Structures are given as C-alpha cells and as structure tokens.
Structure 1
Amino acid sequence: MKTRAVRIYGENDLRLEEFELPEIKDDEILARIVSNSICMSTYKAVIQGGRHKRVPDDVAEKPTITGHEFAGEIIKVGKKWQDQFEPGEKFAVQPALNYKGSPYAPGYSYQYFGGNTEYTIIPQEVMELGYLLKYEGDGFYEASLSEPMSCIVGGYHAVYHTESNNYIHKMGIVEGGKVALLGAAGPMGLGAIDYALHADRKPAVVVVTDINQDRLDRAAALFTPEEAKKQGVELHYINTAEMEDVPAELKSLVEGEGYDDVFVYAPVRALAEQGDQILGKDGCMNFFAGPTDKELSAEFNLYNIHYSPTHIMGSTGGNDDDMRESLKLSAAGRLNPATMITHVGGLDSAADTIQNLPKIPGGKKLIYNAVDLELTALEDFAKKGEQDPKYAELAEIIADNKGLWSAKAEKYLLDNFSK
C-alpha cells in the first residue's frame, strides 16, 4: 500500500513524499498513525542528518521517517503477534528501544517506521521489548503526548534521597515535601505541574518559576492555586526576572528550609546554580533540560554536597513503565496533556514545522497525518473561521474547553478536514 511521510535524506534535507510500503512480515504489524507531536529532538536530527547518532550513514539512499511521539490504530497483525494484538486497537510506542544496544529508534532510523506518516510498519523488536502499548483513552493526541509526559514522569521517579548511615537510595520525590520547578512555564513544565498535582505521590508545596509573565499567567490559569489546594498542594507562581536574590526569595517561601526536590526545565546556567542554592538537607536537583551546548557547565556548592548532603543528577527520557503510567493517568482523566498543545497542523505542514521549530513560539505542535492543514495556533482558528465555517466550528469547540485541544476537537478535525 502507499503512504505519505516526511523523511530525512540528509542535513536539512526533509521531504514530504508518497511511496510504497512493502508487505508486512509475520513478525510485523501494519498501523495507521493518527497523530504525532513534534519534538525538538527531531529538529536536532534533521539539522545533523547522518552525523546524528541515531540517523544511519546511508540515509541519502535509504531515507528515514521522522517523528517519535505518535499514536494510532492497528490495521493488520502478523501471525507471530495475533495472540496479543488485533486490528482496531489504539496504541502508543515507547520509542527508546535500545534494542540489543543499538541506538536506532523510530523517528530517526527506520525506512518504514516513524510518526510523520499515514501508515507505518512496526518492526518485531518493538513487540519483543513490550513497547507497543495499548491505549484505552478517547483522544489520540493524549497517547502521542504520553511520550513527552513519560519523560516528566521518569524525572520524578529518578530523583532520590538517602538515609543517614545507611547506603540506601529512596527513589522518587519526597511525599509531602517541597518541590521547585525552575524555568517551568513551558510545555514540559506544564506537564510537570500537572503530574505534581495529580499523581499518587504528591508534594505539599510546589513553586514554579519563569521569567515570562505571559507564560506564568497561562500556567496559573490552567492549574490554579485553588485547584492545587483541593489536591492538598500549596502552589506558587514566581516571576524571577527582576529579583535581586532569587535563591533567598524562593527559600523564604518555605521558611528558609530549602527544597527537597528541584527540577530545572531550561538549559540555563543561572537556573542550575539557583537550583543548587535552594536545596535543603538531602535535597535532590534534577537537571532535566537537555542542553545543545556540550560545554555548558555551572558552579555547585561542594560543601553542601558533602555535608548536607545534597544530590545533583539529570534524567532524559522515560521507560516503558513511565509511559504506561502516563497513558493510564491520561485515560483516567487525571492528567491533561492538552495543556502542552498550542498549535495543530496537517502532514503537509510537518516538514516546515520541524525545520523552524525553534522559531515558532508556544508549546507542543501536534500533527494529524490524515489532514492537510497549515500549522495553526489554537487561538487563530477563530480568525480563520471568518472565511470558513469549518474553522469557526472548531474554534468554538476549543473555546468551550478553556482554549484547550480536546478529544471532541480532534474528532471534528478528523471528520471534516481529512484528505
């Protein structure tokens, strides 16, 4: 069968094209990809081409499909997996395969397996690893965003704490403790706030910082201190742009004791140093943001690391358990990944979106592969609706949901905009 896909041919060489998929083997699965959210990692792969560790050297002759934050529906199951999967089931994929030590992953390395395509062939290693994950929720977009959400979940699970005189690491945030989310009013920070308020293990205090008041205002409108209080969490939003002594101000919010868990969501030296300075005894800082500068460094207080003892670590990505947790919480309505989404587009807009991603403001950009649609900010659908009633109806659905994307908006888009 034929499919359309956005494929990498080399450095900054990205093409939307139609081609033939081969017949699936007995150990493969054919699937329809409904949605794929665009990740900055894809942009990095495109600008590096074959120099990227996950992009094959022969990509010019064997182009690879982009996109790894995807969700879809199973179409046909090879004989080997027919006792586990069946056509019609919704799914997401944990893309960090690390199969037998290989760096290859969907969205970077495979000719017929990735997210920015109408149809894909899921290779046997995905099922062998248990990384083809069933999804019971309504919206495909939630399953797409389970991948970035799983990175957030993994970050919360990866922090650790100790016991005096015992060589024991207790994994996860301190329940009933104090959490600081620094530089966290962007899409991943919003997911971190959501998880802090609605996961099983909750802190007592969450402080969110940023230097952009508009982003802080949006975060505060999505996750209000009043809602947080109902969850048993004291929530603060702090603009640190004009503060003379950020660590002192942040510590004053927790009576000068410091924080049990600190997460840094922007790759900025000053934020990392602030995070170190506000750690309390046995506090742990997760430098979550992935820098592009290989030489990025910061100063940490070694006295505190030795005597307090504070912990400095980092995490990248989540595992399959983190992704299952994200899918479960989203399907149950406890997490709302829609808060990350600010733009929606069709497959015809994917290549341009990827190549210009750092220049496009806002949060997550969500692509629907059966649709041709210019990448559009959610707030701009109303303006498009002045010329086309379909856009007006979609804008009304979004407005009725506090300006957020939803399963209802997704269904309307697929029913009325698909090619």
Structure 2
Amino acid sequence: MSGTMKAIIKHTRGYGAKIETVPIPTIRDNEVLIKVHATSICGTDVHIYTWDEWSQSRVNPPYVFGHEFAGEIVKVGNKVTNLQVGDRVSAETHLVCYSCSQCLNGNYHICKNTKIIGVDTNGCFAEYVALPAVNIWKNPEEMPYDIASIQEPMGNAVHTVLSGDVAGKTVAVIGCGPIGIMAVSVAKACGASQVIALDINEYRLDLAKKMGATTIINSSEADPVQTVLSLTNGDGVDVVCEMSGHPVAMNQGFKMITNGGRFSILSLPTRPVELDITNDIVFKGIQVQGITGRRMFTTWQQVSSLLNSKQVDVKPLITHHFPLDEFEKGFDLMIAGKCGKVVLHP
C-alpha cells in the first residue's frame, strides 16, 4: 500500500512531539500492515514525550512512537499464513531474537536482544503500523477497539500479580497509575482476600476503588505502613506489587510485607534505591521479583480470558478519548495525573 499517513513523531531530543505526514510503512514478507483504530498512551510514552533521563539514554528521534494499539490487518506479507486481511488485532510489543539462551528456554520476555516497538523501532501513534506476524495477537470480533488497545499494559499488570499465587491472600498495590489500577482489578478477580491500593493522587485512588480495591490509602495523609499493618492484624501483606518507582514508597512496601511474602516490582525507579536488605529482605525471607513485559504468549491468554469472561472490566479505566491530532491534550492529562487510560483515535 502506497501513500502517506498522519503520525505522532518524537521529532527532537527535547520536550514534546508533533503531528507529521509520513509515508505509510512498507511490509516485509513476514510482516503485516495494520490500520490503527485505537492507540493508548503509556507511561513510557510520557517519559519519551517529556524527555526524561531514561528516554535521553534510550531513544533516538526522529521516529514514530507509541506501542499500545488495536486495529485491522489491511495487508499481509507473502510468507504470512496464519493471519489475513480483516483480522482484528493487537500486538506483543517485544521484538525478540528467538536465538539467545533465554529465548531457547522459552523465556522470550527476557530476551537479551529485545527491541521494543515505539521505543527502539517505529511505533503505532499513526494511521498504520507494520509489524512481524509472529508478534500479532488476534482479538475477538466483539471486543471494542479501545479495550483491545490496552491489553498490552494489562498484560504487565497480569504478569506482576500472577507471578505467584494471590488466591485468599492480602495484596498491596503501590502506585495507582493505569497499570497499578489494572493490577488491583486482576488481584481482586483472582481471589485476593484484600486488595489495598496506595498512592497520593486522589483521582487515581478513586479509580482504584471503582476497579475493586477493598481499601485505598493516600500515603500523603496516613502512615501507609502502620495502616497496612492495622488492616492485616499486624502481620503485613502477603504480596506487594510495586508500581510507583518512588524510593520512599518502595521502602514502605518492604516494611509492610509479611515474612515469607512476595515482592514483585514492575516499576522503573529513575535513580538507585537504598534498601535495608538485611532486615527487610533477608531476615524476612521474602521473594523479590523483577517483572518485565508479558510472558509470551501465556500472559496474553490470561488477559484475553479475564476480559472475555467479564471477570475484569476495564471500561471505567478508559477515561478519555481524543482524535490523534489532539494528542497533546492526552499527554497533558497523563502528566497531570488527572486521567486513567487515554485512547487516541487516528
């Protein structure tokens, strides 16, 4: 398919982005071309947009960014046999090598040579995106495009929560950005006895409550550690899902976890975090896990099942819709923390 399209370009090594007209991508024999119907803004996109230290060291403008989307296949490469024009799809955003030791052991999500769509390659903040067929996830015909577009970040939440057992356990989710809020809903759907959501943003704490939190704690107004201990008969929580990346919040998480608990970290602190490893990890005998991406494609199956069964309803989390041309409004809301998920429509 020839022609041009609108796309949001990270155009400079500085703050912001802009809409430009660029060529529609061409596809290789093993790729598909997708018409994007919905694309959602991720925290990673905000890092790139605001040009923080992480993005300065990682991305190389100018390029199309964005990595969460849903759309319809409009062209397939000559070697693609499992997909066809008209399929409604999303995509796993990790482009992996399939040959390193991690990949050969089935741990594709921690491939040593991973590239990320919209970070290391052109992404989906555009009318069309070209991707390898092996990365494509087929969506049910009845799934709305906006909901389908947030399966990738929901996969992060599912991977974090379900990297161990939560049924009948107490769970604290620290950091109620969109993925943290989805983690609240996943933990509740999967049988957690208590789901405690912690943040300092009242707007997002209210969303967490709507999404299933049994208790919300504003950490700027109450001592989070003492409050959690009082909610758990002094024992502390069985599972902590760390989504904030804030050094103070992370340390509080280690103080509120029970002996033998699980501490799963999805967040990306922007600087080194000082921890009391002796007292908060070793003597407590806890398991600390780093979580990256989604297990390919086990996590996608879990996400799809949770959505299709209606055990998790993400509609309340999608708070804003904008045309692609009005992307700046969406980024302003994300930066201010006055939204859930923001979906753009090319």
Q: Same fold (TM over 0.5)?
A: yes
Separation in structure 2 between the aligned mates of residue 181 and residue 49 of structure 1, nearest angstrom = 26
1:15-414 equivalences under 5 Å are: 15-21=18-24, 23-46=26-49, 47=51, 52=56, 54-56=58-60, 59=61, 63-81=62-80, 83-99=81-97, 101-110=112-121, 113-122=122-131, 126-127=132-133, 130-136=134-140, 137-158=142-163, 172-184=164-176, 186-199=177-190, 202-223=191-212, 235-243=214-222, 245-291=223-269, 293-295=270-272, 297-300=273-276, 302-320=278-296, 321-350=298-327, 353-354=330-331, 357-359=334-336, 361-369=338-346
Are the counterparts in 1 of residues 5 and 22 from structure 2 also a CA contact under 8 Å? Answer: yes
Give 1:232's aligned residue.
none
Please identify the structure whose Cα radius of gyration is greater: 1
Separation in structure 1 between the aligned mates of residue 20 and residue 149 of structure 2, nearest angstrom = 22
Cα displacement (A) at 1:352: 6.0
Are the counterparts in 2 of residues 94 and 319 from structure 1 also a CA contact under 8 Å? Answer: no
Under a length normalisation based on structure 1, what TM-score does the superposition of the two structures give? 0.70
SS in 2 for 1:303: helix
Cα displacement (A) at 1:348: 0.4
Separation in structure 1 between the aligned mates of residue 295 and residue 317 of structure 2, nearest angstrom = 20
Aligned-residue identity in percent: 25
Are the counterparts in 2 of residues 9 and 49 from structure 1 also a CA contact under 8 Å? Answer: no
Give 2:7's aligned residue.
5
Cα displacement (A) at 1:264: 2.3
Cα displacement (A) at 1:153: 0.9
What whole-Å deviation, never above 9, does each CA across 1:285-319 have from its counterpart, x for those lacking one?
2233222x323x13325135333312333323223
In structure 1, what residue type is equivalent to 2:254? D
Cα displacement (A) at 1:175: 2.8
Q: Which moved more, 1:84-93 or 1:95-104?
A: 95-104
TM-aligned CA distance change 1:267 to 1:66, over 3 Å:
same
Cα displacement (A) at 1:76: 1.5
Separation in structure 2 between the aligned mates of residue 131 and residue 156 of structure 1, nearest angstrom = 23
Gaps of 5+ in 1: 159-171, 225-234, 370-419
What whole-Å deviation, never above 9, does each CA across 1:8-49 have from its counterpart, x for those lacking one?
233136331223335534322121011110112123234269
In structure 1, what residue type is equivalent to 2:76? V
Gaps of 5+ in 2: 99-111
Cα displacement (A) at 1:216: 3.0
Separation in structure 1 between the aligned mates of residue 203 and residue 339 of structure 2, nearest angstrom = 11
In structure 2, what residue type is equivalent to 1:55? V
Separation in structure 2 between the aligned mates of residue 22 and residue 277 of structure 1, nearest angstrom = 50
Give 1:412's aligned residue.
none
TM-aligned CA distance change 1:335 to 1:354, over 3 Å:
same
Are the counterparts in 2 of residues 183 and 209 from structure 1 also a CA contact under 8 Å? Answer: yes
Cα displacement (A) at 1:222: 4.3
Are the counterparts in 2 of residues 260 and 283 from structure 1 also a CA contact under 8 Å? Answer: yes
Are the counterparts in 1 of residues 166 and 187 from structure 2 also a CA contact under 8 Å? Answer: no
Q: CA RMSD in A?
A: 2.7
Separation in structure 1 between the aligned mates of residue 54 and residue 303 of structure 2, nearest angstrom = 32
Cα displacement (A) at 1:80: 0.7
Separation in structure 2 between the aligned mates of residue 48 and residue 152 of structure 1, nearest angstrom = 24
Cα displacement (A) at 1:349: 1.5
Are the counterparts in 2 of residues 43 and 355 from structure 1 also a CA contact under 8 Å? Answer: no
What whole-Å deviation, never above 9, does each CA across 1:103-157 have from its counterpart, x for those lacking one?
53321333xx5211112222xxx32xx3211111421112210111011111123
Are the counterparts in 2 of residues 65 and 109 from structure 1 also a CA contact under 8 Å? Answer: no
What whole-Å deviation, never above 9, does each CA across 1:154-184 have from its counterpart, x for those lacking one?
11233xxxxxxxxxxxxx1343222112233
Separation in structure 2 between the aligned mates of residue 220 and residue 260 of structure 1, nearest angstrom = 20
Under a length normalisation based on structure 2, what TM-score does the superposition of the two structures give? 0.84
Cα displacement (A) at 1:51: 6.7
Separation in structure 2 between the aligned mates of residue 22 and residue 252 of structure 1, nearest angstrom = 56
Are the counterparts in 2 of residues 54 and 103 from structure 1 also a CA contact under 8 Å? Answer: no
SS in 2 for 1:180: strand
Separation in structure 1 between the aligned mates of residue 198 and residue 47 of structure 2, nearest angstrom = 27
Are the counterparts in 2 of residues 8 and 14 from structure 1 also a CA contact under 8 Å? Answer: yes
Give 2:104's aligned residue.
none
